[in-house]
Amino acid sequence: MPDVIPALTPPKRILMGPGPSDTAARVLAALGAPTVGHLDPYFLQVMNETQSMLRQVFRTQNELTLAVSGTGSAGMEACVVNLIEPGDRMVVGVNGVFGGRMADVAGRAGAEVTKIERPFGEVFSPEEVAAVVERVKPKVVGLVHAETSTGARQPLEEISKIVHEAGALLLADTVTSLGGIPVEVDGWQLDAVYSGTQKCLSCPPGLAPVTFSPRAVAAIDARKTKVASWYLDMTMVRNYWGQDRAYHHTAPINMNYALREALALVLEEGLENRQARHKKNHLALKAGLNALGLTYSVAEPYQLPMLNAVVIPAGIDDVKVRQQLLNEFGIEIGGGLGPMKGKTWRIGLMGETSTSRNVLVLLAALERCLLDQGGKCPPGAGVAAANAFYAAHR
């Protein structure tokens, strides 16, 4: 008799880290729906619906809007390699891990990369972007709208005007921001934008929504060299997502089902309502954390509501707290990256995870962890502060 291999039984977690977030039952059910062919009329209709809903969530009319088959990093590479040819100049803002990755990808694509840098947790001013754009005269400027490694939000609207006045294209990373805070692709005149499914859209990781403005498409069409990546070449992929339906690759059918359902949930809730929910739960969490004596590592105006970067108090062991939260309470939070490793916790309130229940449960569990390590905080203060906020903002 062959050995019986037991079925998978993943533990049930509350995903309050930097991603993935919790997934709605409707989205999980879509993953188990019958698989059809990637050129089946039913799936082509799903693609049409997904494309239409992506435009609504991105707040754009861009024709070239689709879901790249791959995670958010594939979306980043798709945007960079389609806009960059060897020798092109690109300016990249590096104020966290993912700005650094964008610069790395641009260099691999043959760009002459100029990095502007700020310490982790800080953001770039329009003036410093203007200065480097005037000096370098790049083809593309790349910035991270929501830096997942630091919890910082980069304002883009004024910078977009500066970039376009200089004749350059603006590329934005919205992996953590899309569906949680405003992302106005057309309103801010963003030229190439990528995101991921596993953050505020609350879909399992596996697809990367992207959108390209007419200016960006014109730049792609004017290339003198082939796109460095065959798989991510938008000149071919767009023919599969467009009216021609020309075969390019076998799309992940059921992941597209899941994204379609996740986007439907976003639009059924309403973008403004969803953004308000993220902000409300962020403010309640912050009230509770402050009552426990915890502070944020990002300045007030630039704090992300869906990714709370919290300074670890002196004398508290980062790893022990995260292990205790996971093992005793089934709660996942993230540690710091790069120079913030061991100095911050990254607490996610993304999509399905952003609920008052999760805020209150985390605050109660975190208080227990802090007290177990000799931390000083008034018993019940965190939960009481969050409840007071909710009572005042019904």
User: How far from the centroid of its chain's Cα atoms is residue 147's Cα?
Assistant: 8
The answer to whether 332 touches 358, Cβ cutoff 8 Å, is: no
pLDDT digits (tens, 9 = 90+) for 11-59: 999 999 999 999 999 999 999 999 999 999 999 999 999 999 999 999 9
Q: Is the CB of residue 112 less than 8 Å from the CB of residue 90? A: yes
Query: Token pair for residue 63?
Result: 């024709």
Q: How many helices (H) and strands (E) does the chain have?
A: 13, 14
Angle at 322 between CA 319 and CA 323, to 5 degrees: 85
| Predicted local distance difference test score (pLDDT) of residue 243 | 85
* List of E strands, 129-282: 140-144, 146-147, 152-153, 169-173, 192-194, 207-212
Of 64-68, 147-151, 246-250, 257-261, the least confident: 246-250
What's the chain's average pLDDT? 97
Identify the architecture of domain 25-268 in CATH: 3-Layer(aba) Sandwich (3.40)
Ranges for all domains in the chain classified under CATH 3.40.640.10: 25-268
Q: How many CA atoms lie within 13 A of 45 on its CB side?
A: 4
Query: How large is the average pLDDT for residues 107-118?
Result: 98
**What are the beta bridge partners of residue 212?**
64, 192
Nearest CA to 309 out of 102, 150, 159 is that of 150
Mean pLDDT, rounded, for 229-254:
94
Beta bridge partners of 59: none
pLDDT in tens, 84-111: 999 999 999 999 999 999 999 999 999 9
Distance between CA atoms of residues 18 and 222, nearest Å: 38
| Average of per-residue pLDDT across 304-317 | 97
Q: What is the pTM of this model?
A: 0.96
CATH architecture of 270-392: Alpha-Beta Complex (3.90)
DSSP label of 3: P
What percentage of the chain exceeds 70 in pLDDT?
100
Contact criterion met (CB below 8 Å) for 333 and 300? no
Q: Where in the chain is the domain with CATH 3.90.1150.10?
A: 270-392
Token pair listed for 292: 């426990």
Helix axes 356-372, 381-392, angle to 10 degrees: 160
Tokens of 252: 């992940």
- Angle subtended by helix axes 253-269 and 41-58, to nearest 10: 40
Report the percent of the chain where pLDDT is more than 90: 96
Structure tokens, 357? 């229940």
pLDDT reported for residue 1:
67
Locate tokens 């630091």: which residue?
150
Segment 126-154 mean pLDDT = 98
Residue 122 has pLDDT above 70, yes or no: yes
Residue 282 dihedral angles phi and psi, to the nearest 5°: -60, -45
| 291-309 average pLDDT score | 97
Q: Report which of residues 187 and 3 the model is more confident about.
A: 187
Q: Residue 94 carries which DSSP code? A: E
| Chain position carrying tokens 């540690």 | 335
For residues 139 and 169, the answer to whether their CB atoms sit within 8 Å is yes
Give the residue-averaged pLDDT of 253-269. Answer: 98
Band of pLDDT at residue 63, cut at 50, 70 and 90:
very high
* H/E stretch holding 81: helix 72-83
Name which of 116-125, 240-249, 302-311, 321-330 the model is least confident about.
240-249
Which residue, 94, 327, 90, 82, is CA-closest to 213? 82
pLDDT over 80 at 2, yes or no: no
Range scoring the smallest mean pLDDT among 265-279, 345-359, 366-380: 366-380
Q: What is the torsion angle, in degrees rounded to the nearest 10, for the CA atoms of residue 89, residue 95, residue 96 and residue 98? A: -30
